[in-house]
Amino acid sequence: MASGGDFLADFGKVVALDGFAFTPGEGSRALPKGYVAYVSDDAKAWRVVSRGEFGNILANPVRQDVRFDKPVSARYVKLDAVPFPDVAPDWTANGGSFEFFGSGENEL
């Protein structure tokens, strides 16, 4: 589920995760400068597992792979977009998409 600068993934059960990939939509100018990644087991108590910026994403809008410092277990992942000045980021504009990387026996 996405709403502009927020993206929420519900895996339906607790899974092992070690990162994600964001592929910008073709021609989108509503790209995020960076992200803050949170995980939760109940969608109420969240913990930050990663934060960072996407290098040169405006000039080179290609798939961005993010690996967490260590694997985590969670049912939910929430990604908050860090905006560029004067830009309202939208993760899924023009077909932007995500892939999540599993670890251990819970490959996604």
CATH number for 96: 2.60.120.260
- Whether residue 108 is contained in a domain is answered as no
How many Å is the maximal CA-CA distance in the chain? Answer: 42
- Whether residue 27 is contained in a domain is answered as yes
Contacts of 6 (CB under 8 A, 6+ apart): 78, 79, 80, 81, 91
Quote the domain boundaries for residue 47.
2-80+89-102
Q: Is the pLDDT of residue 28 over 60?
A: yes
Identify the pLDDT of residue 107: 45
Contact 63, 22 (CB under 8 A): yes
Q: Is the pLDDT of residue 43 over 50?
A: yes
Identify the pLDDT of residue 108: 44
For residues 90-104, average pLDDT: 88
Identify the pLDDT of residue 106: 45
- Whether residue 107 is contained in a domain is answered as no
For residues 21-44, average pLDDT: 94
Q: Is the pLDDT of residue 20 over 50?
A: yes
The C-alpha angle 66, 48, 55, rounded to 5 degrees, equals 35
Average pLDDT, the chain: 90
Structurally, how many domains does the chain consist of? 1
Identify the pLDDT of residue 104: 57
For residues 65-71, average pLDDT: 95
